[in-house]
Structure 1
Amino acid sequence: MDVLTKQIIFVGGKGGVGKSTTAAAIAHRLSASGNRTLLVSTDPAHNVGDIFGRPIGGKPVEVANRLVALEIDPQLETERYIAGVKDNIKSVVHSSMMEEVYRQLDAAQASPGADEAALFDKLVTIILEEREHFDKIVFDTAPTGHTIRLLSLPELMGVWIHGLLEKRKKANVNYSRLLNDGEPVEDPIFEVLAHRQQRFARVRELLMDQQTTGFIFVMNPERLPILETEKAIKMLNRHSLEVKSLVVNKMLPAHVEGEFWEERKEHENKYVKIIEKTFKQQDIRYVPLFQRDITSYHDLAQFSEQLA
Structure 2
Amino acid sequence: MLDRPVLFFAGKGGVGKTTCAALTALAAARAGERTLLVSTDPAHNLGDLFGPVAGGVAHEVSARLDVLEIDPVAETRRYLDEVKGNMRRLVSSTLLAEAERQVDLAGRAPGAEESALLERMVGVLLDERVRYRRVIFDTAPTGHTLRLLTMPSLMGAWVDGLLRRRAAHHDARAGWLGAPEVPEDPVFELLHRRRLRLEQTRSLLADRAVTGLVFVLVPEALPIAETRRGIDELADHGLAVAGLVVNRVMPTATSDPFYAERKRREREYLARIDAMFADLPRIDLPLLAGDVDSVAALEQLLPAFIEAEAQASAR
TM range (shorter): over 0.9
- Hey, what's the Cα distance between the residues in 2 that align with 1:101 and 1:57? 29
- Hey, what's the Cα distance between the residues in 1 that align with 2:63 and 2:100? 44
Amino acid at match of 2:41: D
**1:184 Cα offset (Å):** 2.2
- Hey, what's the Cα distance between the residues in 2 that align with 1:256 and 1:49? 35
Which whole-Å deviations, capped at 9, do the CAs of 1:173-192 have from their partners, x for residues lacking one? 10111135342232111111
| 1:157 corresponds to which of 140, 144, 155 | 155
Which residue matches 1:143?
141
**1:292 Cα offset (Å):** 0.8
Which residue matches 2:3?
5
| 1:307 corresponds to which of 301, 306, 309 | 309
- Hey, what's the Cα distance between the residues in 2 that align with 1:287 and 1:45? 23
Which residue matches 1:241?
239
Which whole-Å deviations, capped at 9, do the CAs of 1:56-105 have from their partners, x for residues lacking one? 44111111110000000000000010111111111221111111111111
RMSD across aligned C-alpha pairs, in angstroms? 1.2
**Paired residues of 1:62 and 1:69 also in contact (CA < 8 A):** yes
- Hey, what's the Cα distance between the residues in 2 that align with 1:174 and 1:208? 37
Which whole-Å deviations, capped at 9, do the CAs of 1:27-54 have from their partners, x for residues lacking one? 0000000000000000000001101244
**1:157 Cα offset (Å):** 1.1
Q: Which deviates more, 250-259 or 26-35?
A: 250-259
- Hey, what's the Cα distance between the residues in 1 that align with 2:130 and 2:144? 27
Gaps of 5+ in 1: none
**Paired residues of 1:35 and 1:135 also in contact (CA < 8 A):** yes
- Hey, what's the Cα distance between the residues in 1 that align with 2:84 and 2:294? 44
**Paired residues of 1:173 and 1:184 also in contact (CA < 8 A):** no
Amino acid at match of 1:34: G
Gaps of 5+ in 2: 311-315
List aligned pairs for 1:196-207, cutoff 5 A.
196-207=194-205
Which residue matches 1:271?
269
- Hey, what's the Cα distance between the residues in 2 that align with 1:187 and 1:53? 47
**1:55 Cα offset (Å):** 4.1
- Hey, what's the Cα distance between the residues in 1 that align with 2:178 and 2:36? 51
- Hey, what's the Cα distance between the residues in 2 that align with 1:217 and 1:92? 44
**Paired residues of 2:53 and 2:69 also in contact (CA < 8 A):** no
Which residue matches 1:122?
120
- Hey, what's the Cα distance between the residues in 1 that align with 2:278 and 2:205? 23
**Paired residues of 1:176 and 1:185 also in contact (CA < 8 A):** no
List aligned pairs for 1:36-47, cutoff 5 A.
36-47=34-45
| 1:210 corresponds to which of 205, 208, 211 | 208
Which residue matches 2:106?
108
Which residue matches 2:313?
none
- Hey, what's the Cα distance between the residues in 2 that align with 1:156 and 1:18? 29
Amino acid at match of 2:289: Q
Amino acid at match of 2:64: R
Q: TM-score, normalised by structure 2?
A: 0.94
- Hey, what's the Cα distance between the residues in 2 that align with 1:62 and 1:186? 44
User: After the TM superposition, which segments of 4 or more aligned residues of structure 1 sit over 3 Å from their partners?
Assistant: 53-57
List aligned pairs for 1:50-129, cutoff 5 A.
50-129=48-127
Which residue matches 1:17?
15
For 1:153, what is the secondary structure of its paired residue?
A: helix
